[in-house]
Amino acid sequence: MKDIKNFDLKELQGYMLSIGEKPFRAKEIFHAIYKEKQKDFTDITTLPKNLRQKLSEEFYIYALEKVSETNSHDGATKYLFQLRDGLLIETALIRESNKFGRKWNTLCLSTEVGCSLDCQFCATGQMGLIRNLDASEIIEQLMFVDNNIPINNIVFMGMGEPLLNYENVKKSIEILTDTEGRAFGKRKITISTSGIIDKIYRLADQIKMVNLAVSLHAADQTTRDKLMPNLKENPISKLKEALQYYIEKTGNAVTIEYLLIKNVNDSVENALKLVKLISSLKPCKVNLIHFNKVPFAEFSPSQREIEFQKLLLEKNIRATLRKSKGTDISAACGQLVTRNLTNVAKN
Ligand code: SAH
Ligand code: SF4
């Protein structure tokens, strides 16, 4: 049996042709699964009965199993899902609003179980890489939550490094943005990467129009190597060239993410190095992130967040300070899953 959510529209059209059906049946299936959110082929009444029967024999419509849902005091929700093989992932929903009363919901999707990159401040990194998610498991995180809560933005910022699972992430975006299905806007999607250079070039050439955020966290190589030891082969100088290419090729702005960690990357000198590095990258903005303390590392949140932001603003760098939503339920990274896995291991 195959998971139909791993098939994009072209592949499904190819399948229809291969069984002697008209390709437009694929569009009807996309419509039924991603717009009407049908869970069973027998309920897709636009399809002839014999085709429904054949599909039920060859495919299934995958649904994630929710293990828990935790709400934080500031309106963030963290979902813990179990995958087919029993592994767990998390998805975070962040509810935001502005001073004009506009409200919007952002969903933070996971792309891998764990992560191979071992960033020293990150709970997901502590798990190591267990496996990549397939396109269906990525798509389903949105489909599950979106069923009850309208999602306006997607960020690939949950567990894992999206550009090390490039093909499945690309396919999930193609399926979710397909106008025959969920028709999610590409401009409403952001990929956050720790800076996998060759894939940033591919992203610029292949998946235009999505937004790119790069977790830089340090503007000098020595500090970055300390924080992100597995990214030495993706050095800052080459990363900058790739970002320049991405901006030129897509016309999109790039967001630089910068976690502020006490006495590690939050000095005046650190800020000036950052200014020097990115002032020629245009358009670009900086998102300063409040660090959430993790039990396995000595790092502490910076007490200089406002000063650091001020320094950037004075040098005409657009810089926002990201309020840390859901810290009481560890919605920023893989903490809930690692905790749960520990419990499972103990039992
Ligand atoms: N692998 C990708 C996307 C997932 S990590 C990346 O690194 O960009 C998503 C974000 O969570 C990153 O910006 C990362 O720096 C941040 N993050 C990880 N650990 C954190 C912590 N302890 N406190 C706050 N943010 C954290
Ligand atoms: Fe992986 Fe991102 Fe965590 Fe680094 S910060 S270990 S790249 S998930």
Q: Which amino acid is residue 188, in one-letter code?
A: K
Give 183-234 pLDDT, tens digit per residue. Answer: 999 999 999 999 999 999 999 999 878 999 999 999 999 999 999 999 999 9
Q: Which tokens sit at 212?
A: 């790119």
Would you state the pLDDT for residue 1? 94
Q: What is the DSSP letter of 70?
A: E
CA torsion 211-91-105-286 (nearest 10°) is -40
CA–CA dist 267, 220 (Å, integer): 12
CA end-to-end distance (rounded Å), the chain: 32
Residue at token pair 């905790």 = 339
Q: Which of 328, 272, 326, 260 is nearest to 299 (CA)?
A: 260
Would you state the pLDDT for residue 345? 44
Ligand at minimal distance from the CA of 114 is 2
Q: Ligand 1, closest atom to CA 324? A: 24
Q: What is the DSSP letter of 31?
A: I
Residue 84 neighbours by CB distance under 10 Å: 12
Q: Candidates 111, 122, 258, 287: which one to mutate for ligand 2, based on the most atoms within 8 Å of Cβ?
A: 122
Q: Ligand 2, closest atom to CA 125? A: 6
Instruction: Decide which of 1.10.10.60, 3.40.50.1010, 3.40.50.2300, 1.10.150.530 is the CATH code for 2-60.
Output: 1.10.150.530
Would you state the pLDDT for residue 251? 92
- Going from N- to C-terminal start, the domains of the chain cover 2-60, 65-329
Question: Helix, strand or coil for residue 272?
Answer: helix
CA atoms within 13 A on the CB side of 299: 22
Report the separation in Å between the CA atom of 223 and the middle of ligand 2, taken as the mean of its atom positions.
16
Distances (CA, A) of 178 to 35, 173, 183, 263, 270: 11, 8, 5, 46, 43
pTM for this structure? 0.94
Ligand 1, atom 22, residue with closest C-alpha? 292
Report the separation in Å between the CA atom of 57 and the middle of ligand 2, taken as the mean of its atom positions.
39
Report the separation in Å between the CA atom of 127 and the middle of ligand 2, taken as the mean of its atom positions.
10
Phi, psi of 145 (to 5 degrees): -75, -40
Q: Candidates 108, 215, 262: which one to mutate for ligand 1, based on the most atoms within 8 Å of Cβ?
A: 215
Active-site residue set = 90, 333
* Under-70 pLDDT residues of the chain: 323-347
Would you state the pLDDT for residue 347? 37
Q: What's the CATH number for 65-329?
A: 3.20.20.70
Question: Helix, strand or coil for residue 26?
Answer: helix
Would you state the pLDDT for residue 341? 58
Would you state the pLDDT for residue 11? 98
CA–CA dist 207, 212 (Å, integer): 11
Q: Candidates 109, 113, 115: which one to mutate for ligand 2, based on the most atoms within 8 Å of Cβ?
A: 115
